[in-house]
């Protein structure tokens, strides 16, 4: 191979060669092309002869006529668990050094001494990747979600990934571990994880009674039973105030807005339909129920606007009207779909509490919206409806439940000078018996090199036997590079090299394109995402099955013509008033990428940002870039699942910063 091509040897070539060695004994001309098509999927996306010539040049293969055979060095290369763990011969090291990729290869001694951690609620692997990059071994990951489990297994084949309910683990953690042969005798240094956060989110219900909130306690059950050196729990900032009741007026308005949950409850009681149409039919019926509720809100609103003088008696009449009308509307919808005269009555009886609460909340919310009720005096005004009801028994019970839920909500507590809600306070008090836990801290991923403003709360505990106190890492980046910090990567820095996928018709059905479509990288951040450079000391392994000549998760989203026309007029950083999508600003980090919800929690699609240049929402791959996830990570062929997995994740630069801080405190200080 000519010397002037030495500089062209890249990490992708080494990865491709390693893939080929894993799938063939002899490198015969015809056989190697067949292997290439099988392993690399698109043989026309790489110059296969050049690749084999690189293998020959660095001593992995030898050419005998039309045959390409593995050398002794090639056999060693093939036996490596991963190409980064290969120990090259001295002559090969010289070539790799000249190509500036020798630092990609991992020191075996350092790799063998990695502290071992467990990742609970592992998701797609944002925490796992950060800890692996910092020098930890993620030996076990537990994730119940099917799509997240599949992606995690694909991205981290060295990790034992179990699709399981963490509750089973928490019931008897030691017995759970002992049943796993691969983990026999393993000493776990830490437990990391992000319990589901929808119940804590400021944009969600934020109810302390959400069953998902209990998973934070199950996380702590496992920590306190296994007692590792440290634990890290991440969550949305809303966990800090979960359980602290808002003003009664705000509480009522939240009840009135939450159509999805009661609508789901009503629909769940309807008779089943054939499996092949069940999901679509369920969504259709749920939308019908939600539309009925929205329609009733409009009618109640119109009623109040006609009568500006509202007395308690007027409100009582409105509640009865609201309840009666809601029952009629739901009954009519059920009757239209099912030929069963008794079904509407049964459904309303079984759902009477949900229906009553909706009806009551709608009336109070419209009073507030029409400024007939002062926000500060909401509870005082409404107290009479609880004490002297003139309603049916079911309405009375519902009013009592609304007040009891509000009155019995636990109030604010304090932890190390910070006001916190009861959910978080309970966790901190439990952990404090064995762990030194500093006050939780909210960190912005943008402050650590992520091209996205994304705040996450971290709770870190160091076992008291170690007599060490964790200090949260100081920000390393600032969006304008002020105060001596590095400038935070912008949206442009993250995705400028990715092509306009609207010009690729095949991406309507397919989800991959050739790396030849990428443009020249203009930022180190993009070079990291493309795996052309790597941070010093990074011990994470790229996905074994990664096709380095292809970029996946790039499905197109087609928009209606009128939507595209609106996008064309939308300025950088502004929000479309109709879709509520924000346009990325090329010179600033992205806004927070949301996850959306699964079917059992409303099937809400996350609002996706609009590309700063193209008139479309961003692709899954572009979203991954904005999280700091390298191109070798994969997510899901379906856009909806891909965005959900990414939106639930922890950005790599942020999780790596936390992991490096712990590594330096506990395992490198000596």
Residue numbers annotated as active site: 197
Residue-level length of the chain: 670
For 380, phi and psi rounded to 5 degrees? -60, -45
Cβ atoms of 82 and 156 within 8 Å: the answer is: no
- SS in 3 state form for 602-659? CCCCCCCCECCCCCCECCHHHHHHHCCCCCCCCCCCCHHHHHHHHHCCCCHHHHHHHH
Pairwise CA distance, residues 344 & 338, whole Å: 9
Pairwise CA distance, residues 373 & 376, whole Å: 9
**Which candidate, 171, 233, 588, 265, places its Cα nearest to that of 441?**
233
**Containing H/E element for 277?**
helix 275-306
Residue 76: burial class (beta carbons within 10 Å; 0-12, 13-18, 19+): middle
**Which candidate, 352, 361, 358, places its Cα nearest to that of 315?**
361
Pairwise CA distance, residues 355 & 266, whole Å: 9
Q: Is the dihedral of CA 158, 163, 166, 170 positive or negative?
A: negative
Orientation of helix 275-306 relative to helix 260-268, angle to 10°: 130
Cβ of 275: how many Cβ atoms within 10 Å? 7
Q: Which residue has the tokens 């359980």?
A: 243
Cβ atoms of 48 and 36 within 8 Å: the answer is: yes
Cβ atoms of 648 and 152 within 8 Å: the answer is: no
Q: Report CA dihedral (175, 181, 185, 187) to the nearest 10 degrees.
A: -70
Which of the 8 DSSP states describes residue 465?
G
């Amino acid at each position: 191979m000519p010397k002037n091509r030495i500089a062209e040897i890249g990490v992708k070539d080494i990865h491709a060669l390693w893939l080929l060695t894993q799938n063939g004994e002899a490198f015969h001309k015809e056989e190697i092309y067949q292997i290439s098509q099988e392993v690399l999927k698109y043989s026309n996306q790489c110059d296969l002869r050049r690749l084999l010539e690189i293998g020959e040049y660095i001593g992995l293969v030898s050419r005998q006529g039309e045959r390409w055979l593995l050398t002794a060095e090639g056999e060693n290369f093939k036996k490596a668990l991963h190409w980064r763990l290969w120990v090259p011969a001295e002559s090969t090291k010289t070539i790799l050094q000249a190509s500036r990729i020798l630092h990609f290869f991992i020191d075996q001694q350092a790799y063998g001494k990695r502290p071992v951690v467990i990742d609970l609620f592992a998701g797609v692997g944002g925490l796992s990747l950060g800890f692996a990059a910092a020098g930890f071994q993620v030996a076990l990951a537990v994730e119940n979600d099917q799509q997240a489990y599949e992606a995690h297994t694909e991205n981290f084949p060295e990790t034992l990934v179990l699709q399981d309910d963490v509750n089973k683990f928490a019931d008897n953690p030691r017995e759970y571990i002992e049943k796993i042969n691969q983990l026999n005798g393993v000493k776990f240094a830490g437990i990391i994880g992000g319990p589901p956060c929808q119940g804590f989110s400021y944009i969600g219900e934020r109810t302390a009674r959400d069953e998902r909130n209990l998973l934070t306690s199950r996380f702590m059950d496992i920590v306190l039973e296994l007692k590792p050196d440290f634990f890290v729990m991440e969550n949305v900032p809303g966990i800090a105030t979960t359980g602290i009741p808002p003003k009664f007026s705000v509480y009522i308005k939240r009840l009135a807005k939450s159509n999805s949950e009661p609508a789901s409850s009503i629909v769940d009681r309807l008779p089943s339909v054939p499996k092949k149409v069940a999901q679509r039919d369920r969504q259709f019926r749920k939308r019908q129920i939600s539309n009925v509720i929205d329609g009733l809100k409009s009618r109640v609103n119109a009623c109040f606007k006609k009568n500006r003088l509202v007395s308690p008696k007027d409100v009582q009449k409105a509640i009865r009207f609201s309840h009666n009308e809601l029952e009629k509307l739901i009954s009519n919808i059920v009757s239209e779909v099912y030929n069963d005269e008794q079904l509407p009555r049964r459904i309303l009886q079984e759902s009477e509490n949900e229906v009553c609460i909706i009806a009551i909340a709608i009336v109070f919310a419209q009073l507030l919206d029409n400024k007939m009720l002062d926000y500060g005096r909401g509870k005082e005004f409404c107290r009479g409806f609880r004490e002297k009801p003139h309603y049916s028994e079911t309405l009375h019970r519902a009013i009592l439940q609304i007040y009891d839920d509000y009155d019995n909500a636990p109030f604010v507590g304090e932890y190390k000078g910070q006001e916190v809600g009861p959910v978080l306070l309970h966790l901190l008090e439990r952990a404090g018996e064995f762990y030194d836990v500093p006050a939780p801290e909210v960190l912005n991923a943008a402050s650590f090199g992520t091209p996205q403003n994304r705040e996450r709360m971290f709770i870190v505990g160091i076992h008291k036997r170690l007599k060490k106190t964790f200090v949260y890492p100081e920000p390393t980046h600032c969006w304008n590079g002020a105060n001596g910090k590095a400038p935070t990567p912008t949206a442009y820095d993250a995705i400028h090299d990715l092509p306009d996928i609207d010009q690729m018709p095949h991406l309507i059905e397919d989800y991959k394109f050739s790396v030849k479509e990428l443009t020249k990288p203009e930022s180190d951040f993009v070079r990291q995402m493309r795996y052309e450079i790597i941070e010093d000391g990074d011990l994470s392994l790229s996905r074994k099955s990664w096709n380095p000549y292809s970029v996946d998760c790039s499905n197109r989203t087609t928009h209606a013509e009128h939507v595209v026309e609106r996008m064309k007029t939308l300025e950088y950083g502004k929000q479309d008033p109709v879709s509520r999508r924000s346009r990325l600003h090329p010179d600033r980090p992205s806004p927070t990428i949301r996850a959306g919800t699964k079917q059992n929690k409303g099937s809400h699609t996350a609002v996706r940002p609009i590309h700063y240049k193209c008139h479309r929402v961003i692709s899954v791959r572009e979203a991954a870039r904005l999280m700091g996830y390298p191109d070798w990570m994969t997510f899901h062929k379906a856009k909806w699942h891909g965005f959900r997995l990414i939106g639930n994740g922890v950005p790599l630069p942020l999780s790596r910063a936390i992991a490096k801080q712990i590594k330096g405190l506990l395992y490198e200080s000596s």
